[in-house]
């Protein structure tokens, strides 16, 4: 193994662990209790209140008792389970926003390029698109507030760009392609946060839907996509739940209902009192016949596992990929008067066969959420036989197939990660922001040249010589990453072509290019033969 490969071997778990950071912020069933009733004060509660008052009144130095309370609440929840969490008021709005399916803003995808807010692409029909903002535009001022050369992080810009629905914002914009500066006034509006990355046909009979989360709008988006694909003649369907950390319990149930027949069990929940709540399919399924494949990986969790478990246990479809995360707990949210919230585990859920897929959580800290390294070292990411199962947790599907509980959904068809560590690293690299930023910068250098191209012309431009391959290797190295990319030219150029297409045309064009190269998609297509 070469020296760069040795360095990368150590780096693999770090990259993948980071890719899943924050993926389980939400439980799989969330109810908001606006006016939760506080029970009778016990001696312990009185003790805590007395201590806080004592500190507040008598402590020699000035102290923020609110921060002490926040810390106390956090420590209490840490002694429960990994998914019972305290959310400070400063974070609650952004967490809720990502799951509501929309936010109020100006409607641009952007990043800070050389200390300047640079538009990658305006959102179609959004406020910015309506006033003529284009890819590559630099936003210099927003309501006279300077946005360049201030070393802003992206998260620091959101409060400036966001606001109330219907509120105006004045922008000063520099258009590099025309070397001109101009001012526009636009009206902030609701900007959709898509749950469905793409819904497209892979071939004449096979559809593909990529679901990135289970938010308030997920089912509506999914239903619309499903109906559209069926009208296009799709007879088989792939639902991609890879890297989907979950979200709303109800959305997973509604999605599963589209594939299951009336009165088939989808999921069961049970609380501490033993009360059970069973969710069944209804008569309204859009795709109750036709082959179904569900793609999962080690970062598919919560609501993703509810959906996959319902499909597997009812023998409705084939689960393809690697063992899922293993989160089988149900949370309820209680809002506090100060704008913060607590999400508390109130029940466990069970798949139709009766299995709990919750993995052990004796270790509630970082190791619980970043389990990739453990699976990596055990070999389970490479070989299905390395997945540890307990005979005591053996269950049967509707047709009598053996499935196991106690730690995620084990796929019917196993697809390992790449055993060649250099190729494995390449797969992660190509799906990272590095590829997106490189493509943007190349487009930005000569946008007039690229914008006139058709898709075939773009493909020819990317593949006709080694220019982009050599430049990308240099770009990766300049960003401090060590990869041996010498023998990966075709794959790199394919992803470059896809990323160029995405930024010049649309998201669907990206997936149409990369999906035929995807290992799990290939496995599905092999099974169709």
**pLDDT band at residue 257, thresholds of 50, 70 and 90?**
very high
247: left (phi over 0), alpha (psi -120 to 50) or beta: left
Among 373, 372, 379, 469, smallest CA distance to 430 is for 469
**218-231 and 249-257 helices, crossing angle to 10°:** 20
Burial per residue of 380-392, b for 16 or more beta-carbon CB atoms within 10 angstroms, e otherwise: bbbeeeebeeeee
Handedness of CA 122, 127, 128, 129 (dihedral sign): positive
pLDDT at 43: 75
The string of pLDDT tens digits covering residues 427-481 is: 778 777 889 999 999 999 999 999 999 999 999 999 998 899 999 999 988 888 7
- Measured from the Cβ of residue 4, the count of other Cβ atoms closer than 10 Å reads 16
Q: Is the pLDDT reported for residue 281 higher than 80?
A: yes
Taking the model in full, what pTM does it have?
Answer: 0.86
Q: Please answer whether residues 349 and 356 qualify as being in contact, where contact means their C-beta atoms are separated by less than 8 angstroms.
A: yes
Percent share of the chain, pLDDT over 90: 57
pLDDT at 30: 40
The string of pLDDT tens digits covering residues 1-26 is: 333 333 333 333 333 333 343 334 34
The C-alpha atoms of residue 407 and residue 361 are separated, in whole angstroms, by: 10
Coil/strand/helix, residue 100: helix
Beta strand ranges found along 177-232 (DSSP E):
180-187, 189-192, 196-201, 206-211
Mean pLDDT of the chain: 86
Q: Is the pLDDT reported for residue 51 higher than 60?
A: yes
The C-alpha atoms of residue 204 and residue 63 are separated, in whole angstroms, by: 67
What is the layout of strands, in order, in the sheet containing 206-211?
196-201, 206-211, 236-240, 292-296, 318-321, 413-414
The string of pLDDT tens digits covering residues 388-419 is: 888 789 999 999 999 999 889 999 999 998 77
pLDDT at 424: 66
Q: Which residues contact 303 (CB under 8 A, 6 or more apart)?
A: 28, 214, 244, 246, 247, 248, 249, 251, 252
pLDDT at 422: 61
Query: Poorest-confidence range of 59-63, 170-174, 487-491?
Result: 59-63
pLDDT at 353: 97
pLDDT at 20: 40
Percent share of the chain, pLDDT over 70: 91
pLDDT at 145: 92
**pLDDT band at residue 106, thresholds of 50, 70 and 90?**
very high
**pLDDT band at residue 306, thresholds of 50, 70 and 90?**
very high
Q: Which residues contact 58 (CB under 8 A, 6 or more apart)?
A: none
Burial per residue of 77-109, b for 16 or more beta-carbon CB atoms within 10 angstroms, e otherwise: beeebbbbbbbbeeebeeebbebebebbbbbbe
The C-alpha atoms of residue 372 and residue 357 are separated, in whole angstroms, by: 17
Contacts 24+ apart (CB under 8 A), 63-71: 66/338, 70/340
The string of pLDDT tens digits covering residues 156-170 is: 888 889 889 999 999
Please count the helices (runs of H) and the strands (runs of E) in the chain.
19, 22
Q: Is the pLDDT reported for residue 227 higher than 90?
A: yes
Neighbour-count burial of 153, counting CB atoms closer than 10 A to its CB (0-12 exposed, 13-18 middle, 19+ buried): exposed
Cα dihedral 154, 160, 162, 164 in deg (nearest 10): 170
pLDDT at 157: 85
Q: Which domains does the chain have, with CATH numbers?
A: 102-192 (2.30.42.10), 196-414 (3.90.226.10), 420-528 (no CATH)
Q: How many residues does the chain have?
A: 529
């Amino acid at each position: 193994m070469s020296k760069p490969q040795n360095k990368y071997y150590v780096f693999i778990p770090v990259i993948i662990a980071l890719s899943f950071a924050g993926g389980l912020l939400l439980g799989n069933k969330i109810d908001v209790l606006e006016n939760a009733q506080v029970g009778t004060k016990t001696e312990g509660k009185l003790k805590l209140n007395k201590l806080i008052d004592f500190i507040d009144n008598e402590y020699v130095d000035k102290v923020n008792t609110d921060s002490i309370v926040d810390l106390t609440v956090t420590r209490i929840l840490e002694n429960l389970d990994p998914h019972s969490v305290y959310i400070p008021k400063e974070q609650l709005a952004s967490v809720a926003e990502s799951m509501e399916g929309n936010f109020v803003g100006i409607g641009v995808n952007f990043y800070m390029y050389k200390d300047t807010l640079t538009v990658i692409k305006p959102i179609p029909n959004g406020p910015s698109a309506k006033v003529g903002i284009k890819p590559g535009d630099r936003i210099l001022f927003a309501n006279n507030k300077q946005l360049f050369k201030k070393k802003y992080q992206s998260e620091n810009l959101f409060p400036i760009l966001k606001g109330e629905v219907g509120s105006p914002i004045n922008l000063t914009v520099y258009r590099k392609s025309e070397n001109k500066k101009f001012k526009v006034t636009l009206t902030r509006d609701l900007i959709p946060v898509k749950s469905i990355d793409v819904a497209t046909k892979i071939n004449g009979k096979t559809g593909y839907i990529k679901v990135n989360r289970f938010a308030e709008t997920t089912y509506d988006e999914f239903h619309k996509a499903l109906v559209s694909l069926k009208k296009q003649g799709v007879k088989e369907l792939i639902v991609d739940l890879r890297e989907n950390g979950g979200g709303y319990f109800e959305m997973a149930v509604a999605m599963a209902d589209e594939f299951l027949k009336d009165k088939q069990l989808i999921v069961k929940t049970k609380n501490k009192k033993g009360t059970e709540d069973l969710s069944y399919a209804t008569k309204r399924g859009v795709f109750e016949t036709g082959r179904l494949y569900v793609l999962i990986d080690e970062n598919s969790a919560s609501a993703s596992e509810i959906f996959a478990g319902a499909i597997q246990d009812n023998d409705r479809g084939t689960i393809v990929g690697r063992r899922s995360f293993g989160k089988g707990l149900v949370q309820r949210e209680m809002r506090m008067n100060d704008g913060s919230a607590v999400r508390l585990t109130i029940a466990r859920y069970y798949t139709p066969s009766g299995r709990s897929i919750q993995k052990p959580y004796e270790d509630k800290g970082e190791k619980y959420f970043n389990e990739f390294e453990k699976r990596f070292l055990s070999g389970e990411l490479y070989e299905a036989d390395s997945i540890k199962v307990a005979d005591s947790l053996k269950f049967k599907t509707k047709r009598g197939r053996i499935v196991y509980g106690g730690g995620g959904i084990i796929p019917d068809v196993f697809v390992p990660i790449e055993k060649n560590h250099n190729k494995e690293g390449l797969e992660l690299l190509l799906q990272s922001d590095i590829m997106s930023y490189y493509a943007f910068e190349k487009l930005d250098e000569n946008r007039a040249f690229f914008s006139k191209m058709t898709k075939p012309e773009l493909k020819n431009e990317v593949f006709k010589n080694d220019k982009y391959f050599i430049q990308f290797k240099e770009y990766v190295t300049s960003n401090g990453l060590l990869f041996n990319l010498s023998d990966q030219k075709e794959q790199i150029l394919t992803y470059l072509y896809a990323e160029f297409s995405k930024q010049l045309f649309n998201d669907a064009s990206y997936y149409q290019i990369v999906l035929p190269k995807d290992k799990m998609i290939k496995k599905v297509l092999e099974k169709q033969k």
